[in-house]
Structure 1
Amino acid sequence: MRSFFLWLLAASLLAAALILWGEKPGSAEASRLALAPAVTTSQAPFQQVDDPARSDFACRLCHQDTTAVIEFPSGETISAQVDLQHLALSAHGTVEEPLACTSCHDPNEYRIPHDGVTAPDYRRYQIEKSAACVDCHQPTHLTNHPDMAAEEPVVCTDCHDSHEVQPVDEWETVEITVNCVQCHDVEEEDRLTAVLEAGLFTSEPREDAYCLACHTQPDMTLTFANGDTKSLTIDPEVLRQSVHGEDNPWQPLACRNCHQDDMTYPHEPVDVGRLREYSLEKYPACASCHDHNYDLALDSVHG
């Protein structure tokens, strides 16, 4: 019996020695890490891939022939498929150093599996994603469409698509109006062609030819909510012979001298309901040149 207890004591001491011998600095931390749950793909820190071909490989592998769709809370859907041939022939694919997918799509936001979209509808999604364009294209090259601050902004992909962006030389041809009529009325195509030829794609200040490309069209009218109408057609010859034309002692006025707030195109909607309200809203522009007469008018019986 005594030998049994001695054997049991020896075994206990041996086990304790083995435990103490196996315990090393940092082993507790190692045990904690071994028991910790594995990090998921979405939690893993992003590792930048410098080689565009490698960074594109996974994107192209999935998106070239997928039948998947992106569905928005609104119920709208768009295809997740990308035509790689169109992409290769686009302005982003034919440059000396073609863009990688990650050039536009922040890899930190496009891990696999992708997170669901947060935009409530397709239009909001377009507006959100177009923000990536300004990383390269600043300042915006169009000054005649409402920008992101407008109630109804025109964003890059409205005209350029996303993966099939045409090279510049194609955009300088009037045939590109086929893109314009996706938003504008088909009946406006001739007028849009004239606008293109007058310099749509420029960040320079608008010249009269740009404005008159539209405003010389016959029978253009603005109709107010109460039924009032105002002609928007301008006769360039009448304007030239007016006091603001060639006989102006300062210099012939340009459209932008008076219409500084109306130079974006498409124009912002008119928010007054009557022609008289519209006249009262616009006539303070005269004060920029005729401040003395403007003040006299305010103090007169008509003021």
Structure 2
Amino acid sequence: MGIAVLVLFNLFLWGGAPRPVLAQDPPEENARCLTCHSNPDLQIQFADGSTLSAHVSGSRYQSSVHGQEAMTCGGCHPDHQQYPHPEVGAADHRAYTLKLNETCLECHPDQAERVQDSNHAHALAQGNTNAAVCVDCHGAHDTVSLAEARVKIATTCRKCHTGIYDEYSQSAHGKALREENNTDVPTCVDCHGVHTMEDPHTARFRLFSPNLCARCHADKALMSKYGISTEVFETYVADFHGTTVLLFEKQAPDAATNKAVCYDCH
């Protein structure tokens, strides 16, 4: 079915004039939207002439966390609850994404507050419009549960951090996750945080980094599963390097030190 036919069909469906979507059960409202948006050829055109597919897979959305919560399309697209829809005023795809991203903040205020102090938010505030926002990491119509997302975290981060992913994927941690699907091993967010990621190049991050490693390597129950002794961490904090690093962390967290931390050697 061509786009023109879909438009004519919807003019018939809506009586030819803009009308608000009536309050109804979410599946019925979403089914009405899918009358057009199930068409794989449907596109949005932006002011700069670029286009974006407006196709939505009903089955993928239904299996997403939003679909399972019976969220309606209008919950995230309140400006498009009338037909014909208003014109998209965004200059390009990225401007459209950044504007739509504001919708996420309405339902997820706690995460929105935490992310404001993150490296991504700082980059965005400084004018880097390519800095990651909610939908870049979580998707839009195919958002998965946190349990499902864990094995996909590293490949999600790879979309921006390709070189770092390549290094991680060849590490003991990365290989265990990639080849064995072992979710015990740390992935990106275990060391860098989820919504509160900070700059890993600062003295503060470096001094705190042994504590990140300790989350796993000081856990006797976890380490015993893999025949790894927790003495690795215990001996580090007891020697000159570890004692100095921990002292700096407590007394001068922003001061640089040349004493070795875990990742200098490993």
TM-score range, shorter chain: 0.5 to 0.7
The amino acid that maps onto 1:252 is K
- Give the Cα–Cα distance (whole angstroms) in 1 for the partners of residues 145 and 159 of structure 2: 19
Please, which of 76, 91, 94 is the counterpart of residue 120 of structure 1? 91
Residues 1-303 of structure 1: matches in 2 within 5 Å?
41-42=17-18, 46=20, 48-94=22-68, 97-106=69-78, 108-140=79-111, 142=115, 144-147=118-121, 149-152=125-128, 153-173=131-151, 175-191=152-168, 194-198=187-191, 200-201=193-194, 208-209=208-209, 240-242=242-244, 245-247=245-247, 252-253=250-251, 257-258=253-254
Q: Which residue in 2 is equivalent to 1:281? A: none
Whole-Å separation in 2 of the counterparts to 1:80 and 1:247: 55
- State the shift of 1:40 in Å: 7.0
Q: Provide Cα deviations, 1:135-156, integer angstroms capped at 9, x if missing partner.
A: 1111226453422534224211
2:211 and 2:126 map into 1 onto residues whose CA distance is 21
User: CA, structure 1 residues 246+118, in 2 after alignment: closer, same or farther (shift >3 Å)?
Assistant: closer
Q: Considering fraction of residues, name the structure with more helix.
A: 2
Once the two structures are overlaid, the 10-residue window that deviates more, 180-189 or 164-173, is: 180-189
Q: What's the CA shift string for 1:91-126, capped at 9, x where partnerless?
A: 2123xx3211112111x4442111221010110000
C-alpha displacement of 1:49:
1.0
Closer, same or farther: CA 246–50 of 1 in aligned 2, 3 Å: same
Question: How far apart are residue 127 of structure 1 and its match?
Answer: 0.1
Q: Give the number of equivalent residue pairs.
A: 188
Q: CA deviation at 1:199?
A: 5.4
Counterpart contact for 2:45–2:52, Cα < 8 Å: yes
Q: Measure, in 2, the Cα distance between the counterparts of 1:129 and 1:109.
A: 12
- In structure 2, the residue matched to 1:31 is none
Work out which of the two has the higher radius of gyration on C-alpha atoms and give 1 or 2: 1
One-letter identity of the residue aligned with 1:209 = S
Deviations 1:48-102 (A, max 9, x none): 41422332232011111241211112222111110111111212123xx321111
Q: Deviation of residue 158 (structure 1)?
A: 1.0
On the 8 A contact 1:74/1:120 being kept in 2, the answer is: yes
Return closer, same or farther for 1:211/1:128 CA change in 2, 3 Å cut-off: farther
| CA-atom RMSD in angstroms | 3.6
Offset at residue 201 of structure 1 (A): 2.3
**Could you tell me the TM-score, scaled by structure 2's length?**
0.58
Q: Is the 8 A contact 1:170 1:176 kept in 2?
A: no
Unmatched runs of 5 consecutive residues or more in structure 2: 1-14, 175-186, 199-203, 214-235, 256-266
Residue 36 of structure 2 aligns to a residue in which SS? helix
The unaligned stretches of length 5 or more in structure 1 are: 1-38, 214-234, 260-303
Residues 211 and 182 (structure 1), Cα distance of their counterparts in 2 relative to 1, 3 Å cut: farther
Q: Give TM-score scaled by structure 1 length.
A: 0.52
C-alpha deviation, 1:196, in angstroms: 2.5
